[in-house]
Structure 1
């Protein structure tokens, strides 16, 4: 058989299986780009995972307690709409009390109920007068802040649940030293001061005042300088909480993972929460409220009656059950927006 003759091919003919050098370079560049993108994504995942691990490790330094209701606490209120958090502030716990998960002998100078609606777009922070005279399961009628001393966070939670008629989903108790550390870690906060006064070697001037941790702590403890005593102290506590919240959700803080981690690190040793308020739960809460800004935080007081002296000689604050029923319904129905519009500044 004769060998085939040379065949003349058309000038524009190309072998599709053999890409030209330009195509090969393009493919190599694309593959390199994809590889770099994959490395960047992997690096980002590692950084985020490391950050969250560090954040969780810092948060786990808190004391954890059980807030299950005891036999004498009565039935827990039926589930309402939205979430409710009980915030407690007090002086230092003893090491023994913290280790045991209790705070025996300690009264809560700060008691606030935070209601977060289902949509997570706002938050309503309600203060309780510390001398409000209410039923405390197993202890009769007493000042509401005594519940923490009688039975720790668990009894404080059940006392508030019984009084407001909605379940408390989580509790957080912070020692005042933790508040001081938080304010300092944030670089100070701006607080609205109601009037000129001096306390603890610090001068406070009416209007917006920048405070460091020690100044903020001194400010929230004062009551004798004010005509309405504890009631103004409640408002001052809310002013400091607002200052902290404004700084925490500011662009400066949110854009600084190191500052967030340092803040958590500074308060965790002074923090007690229920076991359900885990690190992952806090992250989920933060994500659900990521659009909240300072103007979306609404501060008010629960209704109360006049101060009076009991037969035993104790100075207490009466409840206002008729007005409380209106608040209870608003909490159950997740209609705090309407309630706030109608009752803000009433107390």
Structure 2
């Protein structure tokens, strides 16, 4: 009579062990399990516009707001689940484009003129890509996320020094592999005061994005997930629901860095009535969209 309870207890232990093993494989070794057994990943192709905004302040309350700032970082992300491929097109903020309902000027003004809707429409017009979702990130949220992760390892390609007291921006980085704090990470992705200008900054943003994705895939990050979700709710605005955002983050986390293709909007630097601008190479852009989007 005692054998049946023992058998049930043993079965329960085995089920728990298998469940824990399944969860662990999904979280930290997703490549080792079949696609149909994976948890919470994007199953259909999606185009997501990612904007990083500078910080502005409400004149009455003095509180920071990123609903009226210019978009410092503009990325169009395309995910193909069948090919397990993530393609990211970075768009220089000085790209000279026609903003619907306004005039030709730098693309980062679109967010100021008409918020996320006009920014999406502008990017969609120049690329021909239908944008399904958007994510808006402010600088403070990014800094807090990096600090919560204990820093993000980055190979800084050269010494960087720049001070802008008006923006409270103090950049002082040395060349070499190192773990950047939130403040240092902000400096790294915003630095553009060299011969490469905004194009060099885009390359750094893409490099940092990959390092951040890798840091978010660690067991340590998983155990901090409740705090990460709290940061997301306070510092990121998105058309994705919380559930969709978690699925998106999990998809990114499960992706191999070799499966993330990064590219920049093709063009050449120039000057006109809008100042220093980036003139788009339309033929090369069409080729990129056809191949990667």
**Which of 82, 96, 99 is 1:119 aligned to?**
82
**Which of 263, 267, 270 is 2:232 aligned to?**
267
Q: Is the 8 A contact 1:113 1:127 kept in 2?
A: yes
Inter-partner Cα distance in structure 1 for 2:5 and 2:199: 72
Question: Considering only CA atoms, is the larger Rg found in Structure 1 or Structure 2?
Answer: 1
Inter-partner Cα distance in structure 2 for 1:93 and 1:296: 35
Displacement of 1:221 after TM fit? 1.9
Secondary structure of 1:318's partner?
Answer: strand
Q: Is the 8 A contact 2:66 2:138 kept in 1?
A: no
Q: What do residues 197-230 of structure 1 show as CA deviations (whole Å, max 9, x unaligned)? A: 2235553222322210011112222212x11211
Secondary structure of 2:93's partner?
Answer: coil
Displacement of 1:288 after TM fit? 5.0
Q: What do residues 107-163 of structure 1 show as CA deviations (whole Å, max 9, x unaligned)? A: 101011111113262312221111101111101211111111011111111111111
Secondary structure of 1:109's partner?
Answer: strand
1:320 aligns with 2:281: yes
Secondary structure of 2:280's partner?
Answer: coil
**Which of 186, 198, 204 is 1:230 aligned to?**
198
Displacement of 1:189 after TM fit? 0.6
Q: Is the 8 A contact 1:102 1:152 kept in 2?
A: no
Displacement of 1:179 after TM fit? 0.7
Where structure 1 has 5 or more consecutive residues not aligned to the other structure, the ranges are 1-23, 45-80, 333-347
Give 1:80-229 correspondences, 5 Å limit: 82-92=45-55, 94=57, 103-104=67-68, 106-119=69-82, 121-200=84-163, 203-224=172-193, 226-229=194-197
Inter-partner Cα distance in structure 1 for 2:249 and 2:158: 34
- Cα distance change on mapping 1:32 and 1:197 into 2, 3 Å: closer
Secondary structure of 2:126's partner?
Answer: helix
Where structure 2 has 5 or more consecutive residues not aligned to the other structure, the ranges are 21-43, 164-169
Displacement of 1:164 after TM fit? 0.8
- Cα distance change on mapping 1:317 and 1:300 into 2, 3 Å: same
- Cα distance change on mapping 1:215 and 1:283 into 2, 3 Å: closer
Which residue is equivalent to 1:336? none
Q: Is the 8 A contact 2:49 2:120 kept in 1?
A: yes
TM-score by length of structure 1 reads: 0.67
Inter-partner Cα distance in structure 1 for 2:219 and 2:260: 17
Which residue is equivalent to 1:48? none
Q: Is the 8 A contact 2:214 2:253 kept in 1?
A: no
- Cα distance change on mapping 1:208 and 1:322 into 2, 3 Å: same
Secondary structure of 1:89's partner?
Answer: strand
1:26 aligns with 2:3: yes
Inter-partner Cα distance in structure 2 for 1:152 and 1:165: 20
The Cα RMSD (Å) is: 3.0
TM-score by length of structure 2 reads: 0.78
Report which of the two has the higher share of strand: 2
- Cα distance change on mapping 1:128 and 1:202 into 2, 3 Å: closer
Inter-partner Cα distance in structure 2 for 1:280 and 1:107: 28
